[in-house]
Structure 1
Amino acid sequence: MSQPRLSFKEMCAKFDVTPRTLRYYEYIELLQPEREGRTRFYGPREIARMTLILRGRKFGYPLEEIRQWLLIYEKEGTVAQMRAWITMADRQLTELAEQRAQLEEAMQELKRLRDDTADELHRREG
C-alpha cells in the first residue's frame, strides 16, 4: 500500500496556507515535495514537516531557526533534535515572557491615559 500524498492544492487546504506561502517554504527548502512533471506531491515527511513548521510559527520562531532545527533531525537524529528543541523552547519561553510583560505594561499605560482623558473630558463637559 502506498503512502498518502497530497497535491499542492490539497496541501494548501489541509494547512490553511496560501499557495504563495507553500511555494516560499519550498523556495527556502523547508519542504521538498515529489515532482511528477510540473505537479507537486507532498508525502508523509512533508506533511509532518509542515505541521512542525506551522507549530513553530505559532510559537514565534523565525523560519530560519525552524529550518535549522529540521536539519538537525536529518543530520543528527531524533535525540539531538529533541535536545535542540528543549533549548529553543527555553529561549522562546523567556522571550515570550518578556513580550508579555512589555504588553501588560503598555496596556496599563494606555488604560491610565484613556481614563485620564475620559476624566478630563467629563470635567470639561460637565
Structure 2
Amino acid sequence: MSEQQTYTIGELAKEFDITTRTIRFYEEQGLLSPGRNGQTRVYDKKDRVRLKLVMRGKRLGFSLAETKTLFDLYDSNQNSAAQLHAMLDMTKTKRAILQQQLEDIRLLMTEMDEVEQRCRDELAELEESK
C-alpha cells in the first residue's frame, strides 16, 4: 500500500510561484482545505489540483467566488450537467466581457494611430517652415 502524496505550503507556493500568504488566503476563502499534522498544514493531491484550478481560473478572469461556486457544485455531488451549465454560463459572461474589452482596445488603438499621425504631420510642417 503506497502512501498518498502530500505537499507542504512552501512546496506548493514554489511550484505555483505564489506566496504562502496567498495559499492561506485561498484556505480562508474555502478553496483549499489541507489536513493538519500538529501545527503544520498538509496538502494532498486534491488540494494541489484545486490550487491549479484556482490559478487557471484567475488567468481566465474568474473571481475566487466564481471558482468557489464551481468547487461547491462539484463537492455537492450534483450531476455533471449542473456543473457544466454553470461553467458555460460563467464562460459566456467572461467571453462577453473580453469581447467588449477587445473592441475598446481596438478603438483606443485607432485613436492612438490618429494622434500619432497628427503629431507626425505637425512635425513635418514645422520642419518645412524652418
For normalisation by structure 2, the TM-score amounts to 0.88
Aligned match of 2:95 in 68, 93, 96? 93
Q: Within 2, Cα distance between the matches of 1:43 and 1:68?
A: 21
Which deviates more, 99-108 or 75-84?
75-84
By how many angstroms is 1:116 displaced?
Answer: 1.2
Equivalenced residue count is 126
Deviation at 1:119, TM superposition (A): 2.1
Larger radius of gyration: 2
Unmatched runs of 5 consecutive residues or more in structure 2: none
Local SS of the residue matching 2:55: helix
Provide the identity percentage: 30
Cα root mean square deviation, aligned = 1.5
Q: Which runs of 5+ in 1 are unaligned?
A: none
**Runs of 4+ that moved beyond 2 A:** none
Q: CA deviation at 1:78?
A: 5.4
1-side partners of 2:124 and 2:39: how far apart? 67
1:54 matched residue in structure 2: 55
Aligned-partner Cα distance in 1 for 2:79–2:36 = 27
| Superposition TM-score, scaled by structure 1 size | 0.90
Report the Cα offset of residue 28 of structure 1: 1.2
Task: Give the match for residue 18 of structure 2.
Answer: 17
